[in-house]
Amino acid sequence: MYRIGNGFDVHRFEKDRKLILGGVEIPHEWGLVGHSDADVVLHAITDAILGAVGEKDIGTHFPDTDPEFKDISSTTILGKADQILKSKDYEIVNIDTVIICQQPKLAPFIDLMKINISNALGILADQIGVKATTTEHLGFTGREEGIAATAIVLIKKI
């Protein structure tokens, strides 16, 4: 049995925050605001995994009202979603994610993001697609107010 999950996340920029995307710290003057490290890439992938196995969303499992998750690494959150996936006897076939931002340019960091995601999930880097695009200066990402990410995951019963 195969199942597909879809995830989406967005966070706004703020000064004096680190910019973490796909588990990689990206040099930039702005970081993303969130209860955790605000890694929109890993949050979108986490939601896609949770959705694929029929679970509620990331906010239900890791609520921003719970101090336990304050400043938590999104890699840890992704790992917990992977535990849920495995507990239901599924495995990941592949993941595809798109990061939507005007700045910074992410091409130099894509391969490292894939490695981080593959390590967190115990899958091969070639099972993961990570792409970045702009919105041609349209919308909140185009105005450089924040970053969005989408993810799709295909899983199969073990």
**pLDDT tens digits along 96-141:** 999 999 999 999 999 999 999 999 999 999 999 999 999 999 999 9
Distance CA 32, CA 17 (A): 6
pLDDT tier at 146, thresholds 50, 70, 90: very high
- Is the pLDDT assigned to residue 9 strictly greater than 90? yes
Question: Whole-angstrom distance between the N-terminal and C-terminal Cα of the chain?
Answer: 9
pLDDT at 64: 86
Q: For the chain, what is the largest distance between any 2 Cα atoms, rounded to a whole number of angstroms?
A: 46
Q: By the 8 A CB rule, do 5 and 54 touch?
A: no
> Is residue 68 over pLDDT 90?
no
**Structural domain harbouring 115:** 2-157
Domain holding 99: CATH number?
3.30.1330.50
pTM listed for this prediction: 0.96
* 117 touches 130 (CB < 8 A): yes
Q: Over 90: is that where the pLDDT of 66 sits? A: no
* Token representation of residue 39: 């890694």
Structural domain count of the chain: 1
**For residue 52, which amino acid is it?**
A
Give pLDDT tens digits for 19-29: 999 999 999 99
Q: Which residues neighbour 140 within 8 Å (Cβ) at sequence distance 6 or greater? A: 10, 12, 146
Q: What is the pLDDT of residues 34-46, one digit of tens each?
A: 999 999 999 999 9
Assign 60 a pLDDT band (cuts: 50, 70, 90). very high
Amino acid 134: pLDDT = 97
